[in-house]
Amino acid sequence: MAFKNLLRGAAVAAFLASKVEAVDNGLAITPQMGWDNWNSFGCDVSETLLLQTAQLIVDYGLKDLGYHYVILDDCWSIGRNASHNNSLIANPEKFPNGMAAVADHLHALGLGFGMYSDAGKYTCGGYAGSLGYETVDANTFAEWGVDYLKYDNCFNMGQAGNQMISSARYEVMANALNATGRPILYSLCNWGEDYPWNWGSTIANSWRISGDVYDSWDQPDSRCPCDGPDAWNCGLPGFHCSVTNIMNKASFIVSKAQPGAWNDLDMLEVGNGAMTDAEYVAHFSMWAAAKSPLILGNDIRIVPAKDLAILSNPAVIAVNQDPSGSSAARRWMYSTDSTDEYGGSALQLWSGSLKSTTGGKYNDMVVLLINGANETMVMNATLADIFVDSGPAGTARQVKISWEVRDLWANRMSEAEAQAIIDASSATGNATNGYNATMVGSGRYNATKTSYAQGLKNNDTLLLGNVTTTVGPSGTVTATVERHGAALFRLRALPTGVKKRDEL
């Protein structure tokens, strides 16, 4: 966030091309949700870890909020079986019952099984990669009952350097997966190399846009070198990328996402302990509004109650799972004199269209205010800026009417309620009966029973947040936002003639 100049809207990304048709495998119509072990455990993986985590995903109500895939990352194999078609061999010490048994267990819980491999000779951890073995490995994954493939980019034998080369390399596995006849969500992890947002949608369901995230709000790291107004053109994606670094990279390419094909901002760091509560709220809000896949990256077995509360907010998740599939875009960004220890000081406005919940001709709107300054700030967003895509300089029709402003964090689960859910699970030996999370506390949303699309259509209050005020024609949304925090609102059009309250 080093650059100081004002950035307004999508004009900074004039290089972006128009959308193309997304891959047609019927998956990820909304961004995928789940859990991946890498951020917390790296290579320390096992059958026990996956099944313990899966049980808690169910018992804490996370499955019923949409967190569906349990994704096994790198370091799970011991090589190939030369006497059996060179198929991959799971490590029998880590997975004594085999991968098919893991898949069966996860499926019995109503969850999906995610697997990892690499479009290279080796995986990033140095294990056997799938380059040259795509058909063999796709068939193996299908036989095991895999539902999701995260496909990495290490040791790619130089098969990179332009969009055609990278696209062709990743397309081989796409075709192999499709040929199995099993629906397997295909998640590219090539770190934004060779601009996957330009070609990923034709072969995959999501694509990483940057180097690996780490648990920091804005600490710079020379191993994640690209920032500022040219960050989209990153020849070395690197790793140890902060949340704000990835946010900036996402801002240039939001138009590339669409139902079935998503910009992947990498896993969530919520619950890993290095950021403040306000930073985790902002992190989760940004990933949701940008329509990134929501993949948990923490150790759920020891999740703090306050972080479980963040991850369990259905009103924020409903923004991410909105059926319109439209990503929020950054409308402006400017610096202040209140810089933190790393030089961060930027304030940002993001907004984006949501499917209407009022039945009128105007869509709902998500509004995200991000405070990167070193102190609490009062932030303002005009309707002219919020609706700039519908008309510049305040000419949009939406600027001429009044809007209901609903705070999407107002009903955040209390820490006490989240702790009660954790305690209830512990008291029953982490028994996966699916009831603790809905019996403890009150009013938890169940997306297994009622999809987010249907819940929004029903005007379920759990998905809409709390009304805080209304904004009149040509008005301004105002919020007091903590240091490194965010305010997230859903705006709903008020019918003409409705009496407004507390109008700004």
Provide the annotated active-site residues.
152, 212
Both tokens assigned to 339: 């810089």
Q: In 10 A of CB 423, how many CB atoms?
A: 13
Q: In the block, which residue shows the tokens 């969500």?
A: 185
Would strands 185-188 and 206-208 be described as parallel, antiparallel, or unpaired?
parallel
Backbone angles phi and psi of 186, in degrees to 5: -110, 110
**∠ CA 479-297-411 to the nearest 5 degrees?**
35
What is the identity of the amino acid at 222?
A: S
Helix (H) or strand (E) holding 118: strand 112-118
Residue of 26, 465, 485, 7 lying closest to 254 (CA atoms): 7
Cβ(351)–Cβ(328) below 8 Å: yes
Would strands 476-481 and 185-188 be described as parallel, antiparallel, or unpaired?
unpaired
Q: State the Cα–Cα distance between residues 50 and 58, nearest whole angstrom.
A: 12
Residue of 459, 449, 448 lying closest to 66 (CA atoms): 448
CB-based burial label for 223 (10 Å; 0-12, 13-18, 19+): middle
Cβ(204)–Cβ(258) below 8 Å: no
Query: Mapped to the 3 state alphabet, what secondary structure does 172-216 carry?
Result: HHHHHHHHCCCCCEEEECCCCCCCHHHHHHHCCCEEECCCCECCC
Cβ(93)–Cβ(51) below 8 Å: no
CB-based burial label for 291 (10 Å; 0-12, 13-18, 19+): buried
Helix or strand or coil: residue 58?
helix
Helical segments of 388-489, H only: 415-427, 436-439, 452-457
Secondary-structure breakdown of the chain: helix, strand, coil percentages, each rounded to the nearest 5: 30, 20, 50
DSSP bridge partners of 306: none
Q: State the Cα–Cα distance between residues 237 and 231, nearest whole angstrom.
A: 10
